[in-house]
Structure 1
Amino acid sequence: MKVMRFIPVNYHGKMGLGGDSSVEEYVFQLPESEKKKAQEELREDESIRKQSLDQLREWILKHPNIKKCRTDAPFLLRFLRTKKFSVPQASEMLERYLTIRQLYPQWFTKLDPEDPELAEIIDAGYLVPLLERDEGKLVLFSNAGKFDPHKFTSAHMVRVHSMVTEALMDDEVNQINGYTYINDESGFQMSHISLWSLTDIRNILRCIQNTTPMRHKANHFLNISSSAIKLIEFAISLLNEKLKNRIFIYKSLDELHAKIDKKILPKEYGGEVPLADMLEGFKKQLKSKRDDLLALDDMYIEIDEKTCPLVSEMNEELGIGLDGSFKKLTVD
């Protein structure tokens, strides 16, 4: 089993390695195709990777507020690869990542695959990675109709996404190639909208854009109803230009097939493998990751909510003439 490396605090308020100053030497073991892509797209080579890992570990060690943090290569490379080995940008993203875990525990902690509520949402087929990749990118497939808005909350929805993505982010192929998202919005109801406040939507999108170490490459939407369009339009308006340009909306399955090879899709959408079979395989993967997922809650950063810039950013007013929810939105 892979051993996570943590940096803990000692009694003097300084951070040390708890008597274990060793860090397992990293060895790049991926295929040549991934090595080439990492060099071309991320500026990654042996020298840059080693220097960047050393610098990021040193930054964690000296950070006055980070009291415990993973320092193993797969974890730190999430941030370095997302930020193309800019150590200052990777450091900022890591700090924000740790901070949002403290600010929003209802979204980012207790990611237990054996939690009965999370397990029920997974079992329903709401969110599952596909078996085949989209030109190297891992495909996350979601179906809004599989999420029961009368039984579960928006916090359940975010925690399921957090649990699934955390189980995938240490995979170095995913770190290098990034992610494609396919979202079937059939079954989306007004009751789904009522789960969310405008502020929560704004904040979760900020978390996705600025604190989640994932390369978001494309987001495909299918079967958008009149109920869903207002919510999606609002969400898109909050994204940066790069992510806006990576959103694609289709009126038919044939349009999706023109963009995505249908062989990689579930059988129900023109592919070859039933979604239920894909789901069973992923549930086994989640179970194998349970200890790692729960261990994430051991990480800790001290936050002064009066001076933390991220707290101020998240608490900004939306500046729109609505009551903070979607309840007054008119749906055509």
Structure 2
Amino acid sequence: MASGSGVTATALSVDKCPSRYEANDISPPESHRTIALQELGETDVRRVESLRLLREWIATHPHIRRCRTDALFLLRFLRARAYDVQAAQTTLVRYLTMRQLFRIWYENLDPSDRYMRELVENVRGCLPLGLDRSGRMVALVKVRCYDVARFNCYHLGRLQHMLFEAFFDDVELQIAGGVAIIDCDGATMGHFVCFKLSDIRNFMDCLVHALPVRVKEVHIVRLPRIGQALGNLVLSFAAEELRKRIFFHASMDEVLKCVDQDLLPVEYGGKSCPEEITDNLKRRLADKRDTLLLLDRMEIEVEPYAHLWRQSDEGDVEFGMEID
């Protein structure tokens, strides 16, 4: 698995204008240096200068009240937007707004929460597999593992975003991006009707415009006929650039032409052990817990940006809704 950043919450702050910023010596690992230069245009000089500009902008922004300004956090946005500083600023504003507007998805991403703990330790429906030969982070989602009678779409959404945040500071993911394999074999009608239309629309909008992640490929495998309508909806809400990176496959054999088989669990013909993956993930989440909870202390004035997301008049985006 990716090595991780090594940054701990004790070294982090949400002071948007600290008296002293941390050092910027976060150069890419040798394995990703060429990717950073060729795909992002990243150089040591450009990285340092872009961080300076982004920090100055945050410090004087009239609506941002509290925000992480450490280099790894800000590099998420700079790298996701290939060092277009203005685009990174827009994404950061959307990210901060998104976290407050859809608190049910993004707040209290606590690995010790009983539902999150059960989903990680027992359900094992989302497995981070590690880096492929292109340096990209690969994750496997097994839809059938989720008991929709026990877990609703908000549990699953929070799990997904907790895992996102647990890996967002990884330099390798920031630079090379991620690949998702979504195995729909064994999925039932319940899996496809648990998401409301506005949930899908807003999640896709967040993925494209607010989440600082480079989505390289999404492989959806063995989607049953009952799920095709949902698949079409996802595509209709995706931006054109993302649509080009979403692929549908009738079998895992087709997927194996696109991903490194050795990364997959043994049940898929690979060499990875699900128990070992889960143990590694549990350790990472425990190490990241304080950093994950620190995110809730960031704050932006939401009103100027609330119009960026459409919300149903029927209340299907509920603020602070209890899911316990």
TM beyond 0.5: yes
Q: Structure 1 counterpart of 2:306, which letter?
A: V
Contact 1:221 1:248 in 2 (8 A): yes
CA shift, 1:265, in A, is 1.0
Match of 2:59 in 1: 61
CA shift, 1:315, in A, is 1.9
CA shift, 1:29, in A, is 4.3
Distance 1:276 1:227 in 2: 31
Match of 1:106 in 2: 104
CA shift, 1:99, in A, is 0.3
CA shift, 1:316, in A, is 6.5
TM superposition score normalised by structure 2: 0.90
Match of 1:47 in 2: 45
For the residue of structure 1 that corresponds to 2:115, the secondary structure is helix
Go from structure 1 to structure 2 and tell me whether the alpha carbon gap of 1:132 and 1:41 turns closer, same or farther (over 3 Å shift): closer
Structure 1: 4+ residue segments shifted above 3 A = none
Match of 1:330 in 2: none
Distance 1:246 1:252 in 2: 18
Higher relative contact order (CA 8 A, sep 6+): 2
Match of 2:194 in 1: 195
Alpha-carbon displacement from aligned partner over 1:73-132 (angstroms, at most 9, x marks no partner)? 000000000011111110010000000111001000100001001111122111120034
Distance 1:249 1:275 in 2: 24
Select between 269-278 and 177-186 the one with higher mean Cα deviation.
269-278
Match of 2:266 in 1: 267
For the residue of structure 1 that corresponds to 2:257, the secondary structure is helix
Match of 2:117 in 1: 119
Long gaps (5+) in structure 1 = 9-15, 319-323, 325-332
Contact 1:38 1:176 in 2 (8 A): yes
CA shift, 1:33, in A, is 3.3
2:242 matches 1:247: no
CA shift, 1:169, in A, is 0.4
Distance 1:78 1:51 in 2: 15
For the residue of structure 2 that corresponds to 1:159, the secondary structure is helix
CA shift, 1:314, in A, is 1.7
How many residue pairs match? The answer is: 305
Match of 1:161 in 2: 160
Q: Structure 2 counterpart of 1:189, which letter?
A: T
Match of 2:322 in 1: none
Alpha-carbon displacement from aligned partner over 1:245-294 (angstroms, at most 9, x marks no partner)? 11111111211112212111111111012222211211111111111101
Q: Structure 2 counterpart of 1:77, which letter?
A: L
Match of 1:314 in 2: 309
Distance 1:134 1:116 in 2: 36
Distance 1:276 1:187 in 2: 21
Q: CA RMSD in A?
A: 1.7
For the residue of structure 2 that corresponds to 1:183, the secondary structure is strand
Alpha-carbon displacement from aligned partner over 1:219-242 (angstroms, at most 9, x marks no partner)? 011121112221111111111111
Distance 1:141 1:51 in 2: 36
Select between 244-253 and 107-116 the one with higher mean Cα deviation.
244-253
Q: Structure 2 counterpart of 1:65, which letter?
A: H
Alpha-carbon displacement from aligned partner over 1:139-180 (angstroms, at most 9, x marks no partner)? 111111111111111111110010001000001111000000
TM superposition score normalised by structure 1: 0.88
Go from structure 1 to structure 2 and tell me whether the alpha carbon gap of 1:296 and 1:54 turns closer, same or farther (over 3 Å shift): same
Distance 1:244 1:103 in 2: 26
Percent of counterpart pairs with the same letter? Answer: 35
The structure with the larger Rg is 1
Contact 2:21 2:70 in 1 (8 A): yes
Match of 1:7 in 2: 15
CA shift, 1:193, in A, is 2.3
For the residue of structure 2 that corresponds to 1:93, the secondary structure is helix
Contact 1:185 1:225 in 2 (8 A): yes
Contact 1:188 1:227 in 2 (8 A): no
Contact 1:222 1:252 in 2 (8 A): yes
Q: Structure 2 counterpart of 1:242, which letter?
A: E
Go from structure 1 to structure 2 and tell me whether the alpha carbon gap of 1:218 and 1:94 turns closer, same or farther (over 3 Å shift): same
For the residue of structure 2 that corresponds to 1:96, the secondary structure is helix
Match of 1:87 in 2: 85
Distance 2:238 2:193 in 1: 21
CA shift, 1:194, in A, is 2.4
CA shift, 1:134, in A, is 4.8
Alpha-carbon displacement from aligned partner over 1:283-314 (angstroms, at most 9, x marks no partner)? 1111111111011111011122xxx3x42232
